[in-house]
């Protein structure tokens, strides 16, 4: 399966995204409060959709996929799209592909950890939490 990596540089209001299957890196970092969440996230969701169907069709079993989420802030409209990504990764997990979400939060931002816990409640996808010191 040849799928170009998805590389989006961070801006003041949008996160850095790097989804690179060849290097097994899947990460989203920074601020996510795009002016138009749909316009920003639709291409990301499309990429994830293609990636997931490629993995399922090829019956590839890549090394454990770790999805790193390390937000400073994400808007509530971003949350809906994030959920969409998680749901697709959960499908892989249900297809016996090893996937884990690694949710980073700063020690001064307990709300960020709680947000991750809310996603965890909605999913069967394995979640782990990583504390960042301020």
Partner 1 sequence: MINPNNFTFDIHQKMRENNVLLAFTGEFDMKIINALITSVKLKLVEVEEAARIQKKVYNVMVDCLETIFHSYETAQRKNASYNSFSIFTLSRDAGFYYLISGNYIFNDTMEARKKQIDKINALNTDGKKALFRDYIVDDTIADQDSDLAMLNIAIKSGNVLGYEFKKVDANNSFYIFQVKIKIL
Shortest Å, Cβ 2 to partner 1: 32
Shortest distance in whole angstroms from residue 87 CB to partner 1: 8
Residue at token pair 């782990």: 128
Distances (CA, A) of 105 to 29, 95, 126: 11, 29, 17
75-94: contacts with partner 1 (CB under 8 A): 75-77, 79-80, 82-83
132 binds partner 1 (CB under 8 A): no
Asked if 122 interacts with partner 1 (CB under 8 A), we say yes
Instruction: Note whether 45 binds partner 1 by CB under 8 A.
Output: no
Distance CA 67, CA 84 (A): 13
Distance CA 37, CA 95 (A): 29
Strand partners, 132: 106
Run of H or E including 88? helix 76-94
C-alpha span between 96 and 71 (Å, rounded): 28
Minimum CB separation of residue 56 from partner 1 in Å reads 22
Number of chain positions touching partner 1 (CB under 8 A): 23
Q: What are phi and psi of 126, to 5 degrees?
A: -65, 135
Contact residue for partner 1 among 121, 124, 131, 133 (CB under 8 A) = 121
10 binds partner 1 per the rule CB under 8 A: no
| Chain contacts with partner 1 (rule: CB under 8 A) | 12-13, 33, 35, 37, 73, 75-77, 79-80, 82-83, 106, 108-111, 114, 118, 121-122, 134
């Amino acid at each position: 399966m040849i799928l170009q990596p998805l590389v989006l540089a961070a801006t003041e209001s949008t996160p850095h995204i790097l989804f690179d299957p060849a290097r097994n890196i899947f990460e989203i970092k920074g601020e996510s409060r795009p002016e138009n969440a749909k316009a920003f996230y639709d291409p990301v969701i499309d990429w994830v959709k293609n990636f997931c169907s490629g993995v399922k069709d090829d019956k590839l079993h890549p090394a454990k996929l770790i999805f790193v989420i390390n937000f400073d802030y994400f808007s509530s409209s971003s949350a809906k799209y994030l959920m969409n990504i998680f749901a697709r990764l959960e499908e892989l997990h249900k297809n016996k592909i090893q996937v884990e979400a690694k949710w980073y939060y700063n020690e001064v931002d307990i709300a960020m950890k709680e947000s991750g816990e809310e996603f965890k409640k909605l999913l069967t996808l394995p979640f782990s939490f990583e504390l960042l010191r301020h």
